[in-house]
Structure 1
Amino acid sequence: MKKIILKGFVALTAILSFNVPATETENDYTLEQVVVFSRHGLRAPLASPNSTLGKVTPNQWPQWDTPASYLTTHGGALESYFGHYFSQWLVDNKLLNEDRCPNDDDVYIYTNSLQRTIATGQFFAVGAFPGCLVPIIHKEKLGTMDPLFFPVIDDNSSAFKQAAINSINQTADTKGIEGLNEKLGKAYQNLSTILNYPNSTNCITHKQCDFAHLPTELIIEKGKEPGITGALRTGTSIADAFILQYYEGSPLHDIAWGQIKDKQQFEQLVAIKEHYNSVLFGSPVVAKQVSAKLVDYINHTFSENEAHPKFTLLVGHDSNVASLLSTIKIKHYTLPEQFETTPIGGKIVFQKWRNNHNGKALMKIEYFYQSTDQIRDLVQLNRQNPPHKVVLEMENCPINANGFCSFSTFKQVLNHLTQ
């Protein structure tokens, strides 16, 4: 019964999906190197009486058996399943051997230094290489953001600040953030009703009683992540909490206190979070700045003049995904059977292939992700039941029918971005 309800709940968008599994096994191509950027797995939301979420509703948020922001047990199992599938995929494509543990030349796993990212790497490794000692590298003190994964502003000039604000507004709407907030007005009102916002601490104590018109300010400061106050930011936190409950497998009547009645309501709430990520971290000027270290790292890892591991896994956040894809100019894409464009645990898979006939190096970029059904129902992944995949295309690196673009062109684009 749960799956029937879920499929009525999730918006399915028809798209042109590039599904060419033959490319991954045929003898015409050889897989030489893979770099994966992964969003961390399923975590507990940031909900407590004194948190932002605690102040926007008089209702009690569900208690999780996992500390706020930590990877859940459900999330750990999902990552181990993803790792298991990846090990099979890498063996099938002859990049790794099935009969031995990988060494440092084979596999490198590097995560941000937060519990949810480290644990994601650990569970992935257990699923992919059970019984093997695969180091999970994190370079900062636990609970501290690693600069590679920390999408902060580095430029303190007034010129950059104005350019960043202009870029965010242009990405948001023809009328800027104000216009986006107008478009999301119905979603904000719906959210206010779900929360019983007029009886919240924000309204009663702080006298901020109109959720849709909470004070909005863009924050662009050196050393900080790009930020925004108001309904867009608060609505994102709330929508995220509902999504995480749904992924965790909570009964529908427990999500949003049973106030979400149909898929249109859920789509409205998800749209708030989607706009937040794309506007704040995907606007071109901001994205290029906050993803610079990550783009440089990926570019360097694909250097043809140095030896690098065959398989590299980087684990960060949805903000990293949004800024990375914006900076390398990935064309618009949709993910069937998912209501997020940067889903929990989703993986951007950069693949360097070699054409065995002419020796030409090729690049293929795919989004590997678990559908909402697979996440919620804790579905095991393997050759017979793989994750979903969508081919991504860079604007400046056109792909052929099999999803390949020229590796040299890919490198030229990244070299230009890192100059």
Structure 2
Amino acid sequence: MKTLLPLYTGLLLASMLSPAALAQTPTSDGYALDKVVQVSRHGVRPPTKSNEKLLTAVTQRQWPTWLVPFGNLTGHGYTGAVELGRYRGEVLRTAGLIPKGCPDASQLLVHASPLQRTKATAQALLDGMFPGCGLQPTYVSGDQDALFQANEMPFAALDPVKAKADILKALGGSVEAAQARYKPFEEKLREIACLPAADCPYGKQAWTLEQNAKGRFAIKGLSAGANMGEVFRLEYSQGLPVDKVAFGNGRTAAEVSSLMVLTKAKYDYLNDIPYIASRGASELMNQISLQLKQDTPLAPKDAQSIPPDVPLMLLVAHDTNISYLRTMLGFGWKQGDYIENNIPPVGTLQFERYKEVKTGEYFLRIAFEAQSMDQIRNLTQLTAGQKPLKTDFNSAKDCRNTSVGLLCPLKGAMATVDQNIDPTALTPYSFE
């Protein structure tokens, strides 16, 4: 494990409240929130450099110019993440989980994937949640963290034969058959992205299944259309004039989502494969599990690599990470105008542990929360009357509808969390 940056510079001196002073506020029906783990995607960004190069090549036309380097968080993306952080801070503060002032290092852990867009998003969420406190996220040096880039690291390497077989099964038997099914969507994107007089190569390439040098699989030919749909969504979310979004064909959130069919296909066939997801996110899911079990009868007595025991752990990651976690859980959602199982900028998989006051029993709420596409585009202030989208997951038997959402008995819910953790895809890990 590489050395982490210091958690917060001068944080203890700046602290205004000790952990002992925090008082959990039970709900009207008797549940107190006592631990939260959030895994968030980064905020709005331009295309990555490789995606921009690919899209320019296959469409032979100029794409919109962005004001930040390829792949970096935009100013609009930062502002949207600050707003979501502010809203979540209010919710957690009302529940008594985090202090009204600045927390100390024993009250939260905010750790980001080591790319600019994830580090900057973590900073934005902190700035929104704890304004004026000067808190900073932690992250590893270098460009790989076992929590977030496990799918590119040797300890979680795929068996290429098994992975390929599972992908082909998901495709319906062959890449060629899958491409034939999606041909109408390729043709639609070709009409949108290619100039009429140009000899545009998009849509003419046969799909082929390939494995790159880092061990990840891709479907060449599908990648361009998948990236195109994601870029159109990012253009809309960024607030580009509607005549610029999808070359004038993405004037509403619903229109943009209709152009993301191939984006979903890419996830269906490459990310949402149980074996691939388990190899790629067991390390991350294991840290989530260990955090949620602390201070309960489920806490392992001899576990290694246990994270710091904090009320709030916020991990800022990528859509790939969250799609793997979603697949491992068996959790699906359809929110607002988004396509099924979509993971928007700053979309967050949340694990909220509650304690029933009268019995002392623990419960878990697992949910996915995201701003709507228009909330991100318009930088809408989030309030009780203008909430983000949120979908609960029925993770165990005997779940209860409560004032705070669907609460499931912790033991059963943790069995769901743990069910697809692959012990052979774990490595020693430390946040310190």
Query: Shorter-chain TM-score: what band?
Result: 0.7 to 0.9
Question: Superposition pairs for residues 157-236 of structure 1, below 5 Å?
Answer: 160-172=159-171, 174-196=172-194, 209=201, 211-220=202-211, 223-230=214-221, 232-236=222-226
TM-score w.r.t. the length of structure 2 is 0.81
TM-superposed deviation, 1:397? 5.6
Structure 2 residue aligned with 1:312: 313
Alignment CA distance shift 1:108-1:156 (3 Å): closer
Give ranges in structure 2 of 5+ residues lacking alignment. 1-24, 300-305, 424-432
Amino acid aligned to 2:282: A
TM-superposed deviation, 1:272? 0.8
Structure 2 residue aligned with 1:334: 334
TM-superposed deviation, 1:303? 3.0
Question: Superposition pairs for residues 241-280 of structure 1, below 5 Å?
Answer: 241-259=231-249, 266-280=256-270
8 Å CA contact 2:253–2:374 kept in 1: the answer is: no
Amino acid aligned to 1:295: M
TM-superposed deviation, 1:260? 5.3
TM-superposed deviation, 1:282? 1.0
TM-superposed deviation, 1:107? 1.3
Distance 1:131 1:347 in 2: 24
Alignment CA distance shift 1:277-1:362 (3 Å): same
Amino acid aligned to 1:184: Y
TM-superposed deviation, 1:416? 4.3
Distance 2:333 2:31 in 1: 26
How many residue pairs align between the two structures?
383
8 Å CA contact 2:401–2:407 kept in 1: the answer is: yes
Alignment CA distance shift 1:343-1:398 (3 Å): farther
Distance 1:376 1:401 in 2: 32
Structure 2 residue aligned with 1:113: 114
Amino acid aligned to 1:152: N
TM-superposed deviation, 1:244? 0.8
Distance 1:86 1:93 in 2: 11
TM-score w.r.t. the length of structure 1 is 0.83
1:95 aligns with 2:97: yes
8 Å CA contact 1:47–1:54 kept in 2: the answer is: no
Question: Superposition pairs for residues 333-412 of structure 1, below 5 Å?
Answer: 333-339=333-339, 341-394=342-395, 399-402=399-402, 403-412=406-415
TM-superposed deviation, 1:198? 8.0
Alignment CA distance shift 1:290-1:256 (3 Å): same
Report % sequence identity: 25
Give ranges in structure 1 of 5+ residues lacking alignment. 1-22
Distance 1:42 1:157 in 2: 29
Q: 1:45 aligns with which of 47, 68, 90?
A: 47
Q: 1:237 aligns with which of 227, 236, 245?
A: 227
TM-superposed deviation, 1:128? 0.7
Distance 1:96 1:217 in 2: 49
Amino acid aligned to 2:169: Q
TM-superposed deviation, 1:388? 1.9
8 Å CA contact 2:225–2:262 kept in 1: the answer is: yes
